[in-house]
Chain A
Amino acid sequence: GENVEQHPSTLSVQEGDSAVIKCTYSDSASNYFPWYKQELGKGPQLIIDIRSNVGEKKDQRIAVTLNKTAKHFSLHITETQPEDSAVYFCAASTTGNQFYFGTGTSLTVIP
């Protein structure tokens, strides 16, 4: 089955700096890669996603890049704000819409 690895596990940045989280996947059949933000005591919230026919997608301060050849994808958050502090999960979806998640990155934005 699919295996998704995520790095780093923890990340601290100064407010206004950029944050980058990286994930790799193993199954070349995976073709959908969402990113979720999870705040304490809440369920994961979709923040951005990318499909395998696209190399990059941007939504205001958030961007995702995908390298299908290398089987890795990354989340980029620019101009970080304290409210960006949360746990971020990457995921990969293969046949049947079954998601496989990474282990999460705890992001802390220091004011």
Chain B
Amino acid sequence: ETGVTQSPTHLIKTRGQQVTLRCSSQSGHNTVSWYQQALGQGPQFIFQYYREEENGRGNFPPRFSGLQFPNYSSELNVNALELDDSALYLCASSLDVVSTDTQYFGPGTRLTVL
């Protein structure tokens, strides 16, 4: 086990709704990264937070936003849900933002948008 947890496990929403996904990082890990994994694809980088500040963003629109809290927890918020947002959402924690830091993944939240 990586010590990274995510909630909920599964979630069903309808198009246009908003959703919040939660992640609890390993204690002492200052960095959390969020990924979207569509069925049959590799994880795609959404954004990264380091010490509660956004530290890089992939090719995702502003309706994807995040927060990181001092207690090693974080959130991914998605507004105005679209059908294509259906995917497995993964968070990964790492010690720092050094490029060679290992990232440890949680089990993911499966989001289905109807």
Contact = CB atoms under 8 A, between A and B. Distances in A.
Interface of A: 4, 6, 30-32, 34, 36, 42-46, 49, 51, 89, 91, 93-104
B44 interface: yes
Given A31-B100, A42-B107, A96 B42 contact: no
Contacts of B90: 43-44
Task: Give the size category of B's interface with A.
Answer: 20 to 34
A98 B56 contact: yes
Contacts of A31: 99-100
26 contacts: A4-B42, A43-B107, A44-B90, A44-B105, A45-B2, A46-B102, A46-B104, A49-B102, A51-B100, A91-B42, A93-B99, A96-B48, A96-B56, A96-B99, A97-B94, A97-B98, A97-B101, A98-B45, A98-B56, A99-B45, A99-B103, A101-B42, A101-B44, A102-B42, A104-B40, A104-B41
